[in-house]
Amino acid sequence: MERLTVELGARSYDIVIGDGLLDAVGAQVAPRLKRPRTMIVTDAHVADLYLARVSASLAAEGVAASSLVLPAGEGTKSWEGLARLTEWLIGEGIERSDHVIALGGGVIGDLVGFACSIVKRGCAFVQVPTTLLAQVDSSVGGKTAINVAAGKNLIGAFHQPALVLIDPTTLATLPARELGAGYAEVVKYGLIDDADFFAWCEANGAALLAGDGAARHKAIAHSVSAKARIVAADERETQDVRALLNLGHSFGHALEAETGYSDRLLHGEAVAAGMVLAHQFSAAKGLCPAADAARVRDHLAGLGLPHSLASAGINSGGAALAAHMAHDKKVRGGKLPLILTHGIGRSFVTDDYGLDTVAAFLDGA
């Protein structure tokens, strides 16, 4: 079992990684509770697979757990999902010191985190991520949100979890397409500031996706450690440090919006295409060697991930895509900060390029 801490002063918390940890959720959570009671929120797929085990681990510690099973999929990160969850938590008689357990992928984690940021003005929650994406990214850092018609994650809050419990063995049941989507966020950490880790991804990505346990463990531990470092340095994304975690997302979120947050394009798939576009845009502006942009495209394409507008199933014009980007939460003074790069592992934030420039680039991409 491995343990690291996200250092955030009074809001610091541990991330625990261990095979079989799902059966120890009760032992990890029980000592934190003011009463032997908790609420588990999950989705329909994960409930079938893992809810009974988590409930049993809590029962073994004398903790009674009620559960809410929400529909699987991005559509649950919505006003409707939020209303249903918050009403349920209130109906369950939640107290602020209770620890709601978010058992599932990034959709459940983001929704539960946001609900817990507003119910009774703030309740505790524990992330038990079961997708690769959630284990390497979304369960850590306290960005919580729902999607609205105008854009991705536009209604949300920073609300840190009290604890993150990662059991990599849950990935054994994850569909290959979901694994690939999560893998895009793993590659992101290499592209941001760690060229050696990108090279590791090139060498080990295929094995990781094929089920290599050691590769999965290394990717998860490395990713959460990088994320913990970045979040500790800039918790609320005010200093152009945490914004680097948005590499590929300004483009990616526009692609997700264009596909209506449907399963035509998963978040991680949109990020994969978005990261390639960010490198190609950088190369087109003379900021990044074209060979680096090609290397990123080739790695993601080689693993079957979207690596262009066409392979992401997008045939909209640049202006339509750029219009989505105008809603980006990083916009300041009317300018859109983009995460661009000087090469692999050398990302940076700039607001030197306007939406017209981005639209023209996308028209030719």
Ligand X SMILES: NC(=O)c1ccc[n+]([C@@H]2O[C@H](COP(=O)([O-])OP(=O)(O)OC[C@H]3O[C@@H](n4cnc5c(N)ncnc54)[C@H](O)[C@@H]3O)[C@@H](O)[C@H]2O)c1
Residue 127, burial from CB neighbour count under 10 angstroms (0-12, 13-18, 19+): buried
Q: How far is the CB of 97 from ligand X (least distance, A)?
A: 23
Which partner, ligand X, ligand LNCXM5UN, none, binds residue 205 by CB below 5 to 8 Å per kind? none
Candidates 77, 159, 216, 249; binder of ligand LNCXM5UN (CB under 6 A) is 249
Active site residue 295: no
Would you tell me how many other CB atoms lie within 10 Å of the CB of residue 173?
13
CA–CA distance, 41 with 246 (Å, rounded to integer)? 27
**331: its two tokens:** 């916009």
Alpha helices in 79-212 (DSSP H): 79-91, 106-118, 132-133, 176-193, 195-210
CB of 145 to ligand X, least distance (A): 7
Among 98, 167, 178, 237, binds ligand X (CB under 6 A): 178
Stretch that binds ligand LNCXM5UN, among 136-144, 166-174, 212-220, 336-344 (CB under 6 A): 136-144
- Contact between 269 and ligand X by CB under 6 A: the answer reads no
Q: Give the β-pairing of 64-70 and 37-43.
A: parallel
Please count the other Cβ atoms lying within 10 Å of the Cβ belonging to residue 4: 16
**The pair of three-digit structure tokens given for residue 190, joined into one six-digit string:** 């290499």
Alpha carbon of 299 to those of 19, 303, 353: distances in Å? 28, 7, 27
Examine residue 185 and tell whether it contacts ligand LNCXM5UN (CB under 6 A).
Answer: yes
Residue 99 annotated to the active site = no
**Dist CA 27 CA 40 (whole Å):** 15
Is the CB of 46 or the CB of 184 nearer to ligand LNCXM5UN?
184
Q: Which of 104, 105, 109, 141 binds ligand LNCXM5UN (CB under 6 A)?
A: 141
Helix (H, G, I), strand (E, B) or coil at 180: helix
Q: How far apart are CA 112 and CA 138, in angstroms?
A: 12
Per CB under 6 A, contacts with ligand X among 86-145 are: 104-108, 110, 130-131, 133-134, 137-138, 141, 143
Token reading at 63: 């903790």
Note whether 245 binds ligand LNCXM5UN by CB under 6 A: yes
Nearer to ligand X, 337 or 343 (CB): 337
Rounded Cα distance between 165 and 21, Å, is 7
Of 216, 242, 324, 330, catalytic: 242
Cβ–Cβ under 8 Å, residues 110 and 145:
yes
- Cα 245 to Cα 243: distance, rounded to the nearest angstrom: 5
C-alpha dist (Å) from residue 353 to 39, 282, 343: 46, 11, 18
| Residue 267 appears among annotated catalytic residues | yes
Say which entry of ligand X, ligand LNCXM5UN, none residue 131 contacts (CB below 5 to 8 A, set by partner kind).
ligand X
Q: Which of 77, 222, 227, 299 is catalytic?
A: 227
Catalytic entry in 185, 235, 258, 269: 185
The entry of ligand LNCXM5UN, ligand X, none that residue 178 binds, CB within 5 to 8 Å by partner kind = ligand X
Would you say 110 is a known binding-site residue?
yes
| Range in contact with ligand LNCXM5UN (rule: CB under 6 A) among 49-57, 135-143, 293-301, 307-315 | 135-143
Interface mask toward ligand X for 182-201; x: CB under 6 A: x--x----------------
User: 9: alpha, beta or left, given left = phi > 0 and alpha = psi -120 to 50?
Assistant: left
Distance CA 283, CA 148 (A): 33
Residue 76 known to bind ligand: no
46 carries a ligand binding annotation: no
Per 3-state DSSP, the chain is made up of helix, strand and coil in percentages (nearest 5) of 55, 20, 30
Residues that bind ligand X (CB under 6 A): 43, 45-46, 49, 72-74, 77, 104-108, 110, 130-131, 133-134, 137-138, 141, 143, 153, 170, 173-174, 178, 181-182, 185, 267-268
- Which residues are annotated as catalytic? 121, 143, 185, 227, 237, 242, 246, 249, 253, 267
Q: What residues are designated binding site for NAD(+)?
A: 106-110, 130-131, 143, 152, 170-173
